[in-house]
Amino acid sequence: MSRTQSTLRIGDQPWVKWSLIGLALTLTLLLLVIPLVLIFAQAFSAGPGSLWSNLTDTYTLAAIGLTLFVAALTVPLNLVFGVFLAWLVTRFEFPGRKVLITLIDIPFAVSPVVAGLLYLLLYGSNGWLGGWLADKDIQLMFAWPGIVMVTVFVTCPFVARELIPLMQQQGRDEEEAAVVLGASGWQLFRKVTLPNIQWALLYGVVLTNARAVGEFGAVSVVSGNIRGETNTLPLHVELLYQDYNVAGAFTSASLLACIALLTLLVKSFIEWRQARQRMPVSDQSDSI
Amino acid sequence: MSRNLVGFASASQNKPGKRVLPGFALSLGISLLFIGLILLLPLTGLIMQTSGMSLAEYWAVITDERVVSSYKVTLWAAAIASLFNGVVGLLLAWVLVRYEFWGKPLVDALMDLPFALPTAVAGITLAALFSEGGWYGQFLTALGIKVAFTPLGIVVAMSFTSLPFVVRTVQPVLEDLAPEDEEAAVSMGAGDWTVFRRILFPALWPALMSGVALSFTRSLGEFGAVIFIAGNMPYVSEITSLMIFVRLQEYDYAAASAIASVVLMASLVLLLAINLWQARYLRRLHGR
């Protein structure tokens, strides 16, 4: 697709090429494919009947519900933040711009357990803010608000990280032209910016969602693990696994694996679209 | 995070000038509010908790024998895992960029699985694969290699969760590599290995280093995948993130915070170092 085959490239002798491909495929099989197969094999190991009863177990359903609820709050919040931050750092020059871009990476570098602990220390009943909230009978930690808060922390870079490189590369010419032509801020965003960034935005949202649904370390610090109340799906997987209910654990795990696969599918689709857009028209007709 | 590689190259092309585009105040306000509330405010809890300790207490907690063993296990395992990923990631990136073969888009899409799959799911899957009767464990046991419930299990979990970093940082650089140097060297009769070592590797080295460093940072903080396979024996296979968790369950918030402050400091230093490293070689790459 990219470069034409030439003899002036290394690694193109058939034996080198095919042994490297073979090695890579073996590694992919061992490291990625078989683990994925195992999840579904274990979920189905006790038969479809027990798969269904595992899925519709009261606590499993409660965990699914809570997980979806947390994602439904987290994703829109980080979507809005990501768009505003990306707009800010790619469309304006101001002192401290680089610092902001570095700060946004913090959640990626911080261990999830440390992230959970930070929130527990501040908002827990021993923390300076938490003590004040406790006097007002507001409990955030060991309850769903805490889970949402740490999930927002852990997932806040994804949308911005997808948008910033793209918006930087596209530059601001189109938008400046629209402003000169008299577009309002909202018109500008909806008619000029959004069409340009929609796929990156979608991918950012999908990534945010995948991580929000799957976050384990940070959530387990602030959750309190109350079955049916503050147990998210990943925590439920852990509980079942520790109860030696392996089939049950893998049933819930397979739901999470499906979300992961869906994420990969969306990513591939978006990349496929972008590759098509980048191809010149003549190439495009050739390839069909 | 790997996106900064490609992302900020064009920053310098943006001309500073009059602000034509709307929304500076609004996006600055929202971004600062969000970063302040979500990222920075929680740090105050940690600072207050640790500042309540005397220096001697702090030192005693972070140099406790069990905690020091956990640093060693974590650092060693992360180092081995990221080096393994350096080699495997380079191979996978090479095969994905340089060769065409059936099923390549699928393999390419699967590379991101470890990022999309929740860590708890990865954890129970790897534990099931490498347990004594597991799909991999039975063969490894026959060879006398024990993975589950040993430090080697930690390495396996860390390698899995951070595998995509090297692939995704090396891949774009390898794709954009200008073919002239390679062609010249090959046409002058240099052998494949020499060309790779003397021409391609130096060009790939900065991206490879970034990928390995990102993989190392991620591995240091990994929790969900590790705890299921590590066995978590004090002094032997207990990682530092788990140490924080254990102290929390003992309601020793001060000790948990002290250890967390060490981890946090280490990860922030690493983050800064990686950002500086990437900025430096981006300048070199585009400054010509």
Same domain, A28 and A54: no
Q: Which residues of A touch B187 (CB under 8 A)?
A: 8
- The fold of B52-286 is MetI-like fold (1.10.3720)
Position A132 scores a pLDDT of 87
Same domain, A145 and A256: yes
Task: Please give, rounded to a whole number of angstroms, the shortest distance from the CA of A93 to a CA of chain B.
Answer: 6
Percent of chain B with pLDDT strictly greater than 90: 69
Same domain, A184 and A198: yes
The per-residue pLDDT for range A16-27, each reduced to its tens digit, is 999 999 999 999
Verify whether the Cβ–Cβ distance A23 to B91 is below 8 Å: yes
Residue A205 included in any domain: yes
Same domain, A163 and A53: yes
Residue A2 included in any domain: no
Residue A284 pLDDT exceeds 80: no
Number of structural domains chain A divides into: 2
Position B286 scores a pLDDT of 64
The per-residue pLDDT for range A84-117, each reduced to its tens digit, is 999 999 999 999 998 898 899 899 889 999 999 9
Same domain, A147 and A220: yes
* ipTM of the complex as predicted: 0.89
Q: Which residues of B touch A118 (CB under 8 A)?
A: 42-43, 45-46, 260
The per-residue pLDDT for range A106-147, each reduced to its tens digit, is 998 899 999 999 999 999 888 888 888 888 888 888 999 999
Same domain, A34 and A68: no
Nearest residue in A to B262, CA atom: A114
Residue A29 included in any domain: yes
Position A287 scores a pLDDT of 41
Average pLDDT, integer, range B69-74: 96
Give the residue extent of every domain in chain B: 52-286
Same domain, A39 and A167: no
How crowded is the C-beta side of B169, counted as CA atoms within 13 Å? Answer: 28
CA dihedral B204, B210, B215, B216 (to 10 degrees): 120
Same domain, A32 and A119: no
Mind spelling out the 3-state secondary structure of B262-285?
Answer: HHHHHHHHHHHHHHHHHHHHHHHH
- Quote the CA–CA distance of A85 and B7 in Å, as a whole number: 15
Other beta carbons within 10 Å of B198:
12
Verify whether the Cβ–Cβ distance A107 to B39 is below 8 Å: yes
Residue A1 included in any domain: no
Position B5 scores a pLDDT of 41
Verify whether the Cβ–Cβ distance A164 to B220 is below 8 Å: no
CATH number of the domain to which A67 belongs? 1.10.3720.10
Q: Which domain holds residue A28?
A: 8-44
Give the sign of the dihedral formed by CA B248, CA B252, CA B254, CA B255: negative
Same domain, A109 and A247: yes
Same domain, A133 and A31: no
C-alpha triplet B8, B11, B17: angle, nearest 5°: 160
The per-residue pLDDT for range A154-208, each reduced to its tens digit, is 999 999 999 999 999 888 889 999 998 988 888 999 999 999 999 999 999 999 9
Position B285 scores a pLDDT of 66
Position B111 scores a pLDDT of 95
- Quote the CA–CA distance of B204 and B1 in Å, as a whole number: 18
